Amino acid sequence: MKSSISYRVFNQINIVFLSILALVCILPLVHVLALSFSNNSSAAAGLVKLWPVGFTTNAYEFILRKPEFLNSIVITLQRVGLGTVINLLLTLLVAYPLSKESSVFKFRTQYAWIFVFTILFNGGLIPWYMTIKWTGIMDTLWALVLPGAVPVFNVILLLNFFRGVPKELEESASLDGAGHWTTLWRIYVPLSTPAIATITLFTIVGHWNSWFDGLILMKVPEHFPLSTYLQTILVRIDLTSMSGKDFEILRDVSDRTAKAAQIFLGALPIIVVYPFLQRYFVKGIVLGSVKG
């Protein structure tokens, strides 16, 4: 069937609008990348737009020459790996029972509101810090992982997705002798790949970008995750440990170019991972929001 003229016009307007929106999202990142490869004087004069002016890699050399940078990458990878596993496991174990009807799980509504309450209200920064300190996990990897072990937003997203799974599948499994544990891992988890991929992306991004908790929970800079290290690298420059090459590089590195390099290095892993999860992300966020 031939599409109507109004439909074709509407379709073209959508294409133009989405193209402009895509450029608005991409151009700032391109500008940051160009700025990170530009020299000090060009960046200070505001000459850099979408292409490097006075191409140089001094900003990246200054950051990558630091052993603390490589150490912070290792800590961040450990945090992302351990934190993602813990977050996904606990999210699954919480979302599954909360997705049941009240006739199956008697106090389901009350428990669900307890979790929702934590989104609306929190105890504040000082009680949060004191609780972590009294547990004895300060200055360890667990301090970066355990306080946010149960992300409530991910729980709500996943339980809504679980509620959309046909109940006939669970009833058939129950007739075959499957318990809740088997039903969760053999039926719900395989059918929830889009939603799980979505919350996995949320979790990875959250752990990778988090810097404030590392700043106040880690006692020494050697234990900083990458985002915290990048946030403090220009504030805490140790001049006593610099070599002549470091001073030469630092002379040609401005605050703007170094920050641009930090921003791009911090965003690069997420940029690489996101395309592989995008198709699951879109489907999971839509289904998880309308089901139930």
Q: At what angle do helices 255-290 and 152-162 cross, to 10 degrees?
A: 30
DSSP string, 104-128: TSTTHHHHHHHHHHHHH----HHHH
Confidence of residue 292 (pLDDT cuts 50, 70, 90): very low
The pLDDT tens digits for 102-134 are: 888 888 888 888 888 888 888 888 999 999 999
Name which of 231, 237, 236, 235 is nearest 209 in CA terms.
231
Which residues are CB-contacts of 284 (< 8 A; sequence separation ≥ 6)?
A: 157, 161, 194, 195, 196, 197, 198, 199
The pLDDT tens digits for 238-256 are: 544 555 555 555 556 666 7
What's the rounded mean pLDDT across residues 19-36?
88
Long-range contacts of residues 141-146, Cβ cutoff 8 Å, at least 24 apart: 141/75, 141/78, 141/79, 141/82, 143/213, 143/217, 143/218, 144/79, 144/83, 144/207, 144/210, 144/213, 144/214, 144/217, 144/225, 145/79, 145/82, 145/83, 145/86, 146/86
Domains of the chain: 67-232 (1.10.3720.10)
Q: At what angle do helices 67-98 and 152-162 cross, to 10 degrees?
A: 40
Q: CB of 73 within 8 A of CB of 196?
A: no
The pLDDT tens digits for 139-148 are: 999 999 999 8
pLDDT at 89 over 90: yes
What's the rounded mean pLDDT across residues 281-288?
53
What pLDDT, on a 0 to 100 scale, did the predictor assign at position 82?
95
Q: CB of 218 within 8 A of CB of 79?
A: no
What's the rounded mean pLDDT across residues 28-34?
88
pLDDT at 290 over 50: no
